Amino acid sequence: MNMVPSAVTPGCGERPVLRERGQREVFCGLTGIVWLHRKIQDAFFLVVGSRTCAHLIQSAAGVMIFAEPRFATAIIDDHDLAGLADANEELDKVVGQLLARRPEIKLLFLVGSCPSEVIKLDLSRAAERLSQAHQGRTRVLNYSGSGIETTFTQGEDACLAALVPTLPETQARELMVVGALADVVEDQFARLFAELGVGPVRFLPARKAGDMPPVGPNTLYLLAQPFLTETARLLENRGATRLSAPFPLGAEGTTAWLKAAADAWGVDPARFEAVTAPGQARAAAAVARHREKLEGKRIFFFPDSQLEIPIARFLAREAGMVPTEVGTPYLHRDHLAADIALLPEDVRLSEGQDVERQLDRCRAERPDITVCGLGLANPLEAEGMTTKWAIELVFTPIQGFEQAGDLAELFARPLNRRTRLGL
Ligand code: SF4
């Protein structure tokens, strides 16, 4: 890995961003399979990788005892490195057997990994070949979940980006919500949009392969997740326009996010207020229950989920926390502009990672709570620091009014635990 010195450069208007390109401590994009396979109910994710890849998704996603799993790993053995032709033949055979046994699979993702990149197995050609072979029954797409990419949430971006070229064309004026949300959250947003009179509203990804939303020059889209750079770029190539808003975390973020769509649909302000006020009040009350624990507490974010900036904005403005450093693996200035504008002025923003330097800064600051990946959490806990696993923020439904209290609780819990232990 290249070791390039850290640099502080201006970015996001006047706000400086500390950019680091050193050793990173993050999960790979295969992790996205854990939530994507639950979201798209007739899809299957076939990782083309090594035994390490198989262990990773098996332990992250757990073993389903009663249901047949909708992910697996086609393991590339050492001898496969000898011949690409063999690897392709083997892959065709595995896919043929899988689809014969599981006719309910309508969408099959071939998910690339570090080893498949190493042997230069061309999974896009394999997906084309297999799509033809299984035409009319199963569509086969491919994307990379390899650890060579930025971080684990990039797996979802790559997966949704693979779907964009397959979306049907439309001229209709529709709202598309982009990013996998827990079904309960998706249902809440669908109800709010219906009450506001915004719509039709479609979600990407849809729960069924055959229901993926159409896209065209009159599509307006809202990002529900901040890590969908490539997906957004491809949607815009197909004519869609992004509605700029903070991400829907907390009462403030959710209100502003809904407002962006309401304004585009010309919703009357009084109606907007009537529809959103009860949710705002419930969210504020739920966060207030944790405020005493969180207020004034200093929080340090290592770069991991790419959710760091909107979460820091929520914790600072609605729970009274004090973010000191907010690290993110990749900073998309446009997508995050509205959240960055709401961050306290003196927060240090950092992009990328040089883990040793960042650990030094964290130790020097001794924050009350540190948000980081699993690999850093145990050593920091051993040093007496309180940590929060960043990956939980992706596995837990946190968007929308009804989840604001749960989001605050995710940070209050480790602080409570430490108090109870008398540490
Ligand atoms: S894709 Fe790469 S980083 Fe991820 S589990 Fe496989 S070998 Fe490891």
- Per-residue model confidence as pLDDT tens for the chain (423 residues): 333 344 555 444 568 898 888 777 677 899 999 999 999 999 999 999 888 888 888 777 765 555 578 888 888 765 555 556 678 888 999 999 999 999 999 999 999 998 876 667 889 999 999 999 999 999 999 999 987 766 889 999 999 999 999 999 999 999 999 999 999 999 999 999 999 999 999 999 999 999 999 999 999 999 999 999 999 999 999 999 999 999 999 999 999 999 999 999 999 999 999 999 999 999 999 999 999 999 999 999 999 999 999 999 999 999 999 999 999 998 899 999 999 999 999 999 999 888 899 999 999 999 999 999 888 999 999 999 999 999 889 989 999 999 999 999 999 999 887 666 655
Distance 283 CA to ligand 1 centre (A): 39
Please work out whether the CB of residue 146 comes within 6 Å of at least one atom of ligand 1: yes
Contacts for 266 with CB less than 8 Å, ≥ 6 apart: none
Assigned domain for 96 exists: yes
CA distance 295 to 318: 9
pLDDT at position 84 is: 64
pLDDT at position 2 is: 34
Distance 28 CA to ligand 1 centre (A): 6
Sheet holding 201-204, edge to edge: 201-204, 174-178, 219-223, 241-242
CA 28 to chain CA centroid, Å, is 12
Assigned domain for 166 exists: no
Please work out whether the CB of residue 50 comes within 6 Å of at least one atom of ligand 1: yes
Domain coverage including residue 252: 174-269
CA distance 371 to 393: 10
Assigned domain for 155 exists: no
Assigned domain for 43 exists: yes
> Among 113, 142, 154, which is best to mutate for testing ligand 1, by the most ligand atoms less than 8 A from CB?
113
Distance 120 CA to ligand 1 centre (A): 15
Together in a domain, 234 and 331:
no
pLDDT at position 4 is: 39
CATH number at residue 201: 3.40.50.1980
CA 60 to chain CA centroid, Å, is 15
Together in a domain, 58 and 138:
yes
Together in a domain, 64 and 90:
yes
pLDDT at position 409 is: 96
Provide the domain count of the chain.
Answer: 3
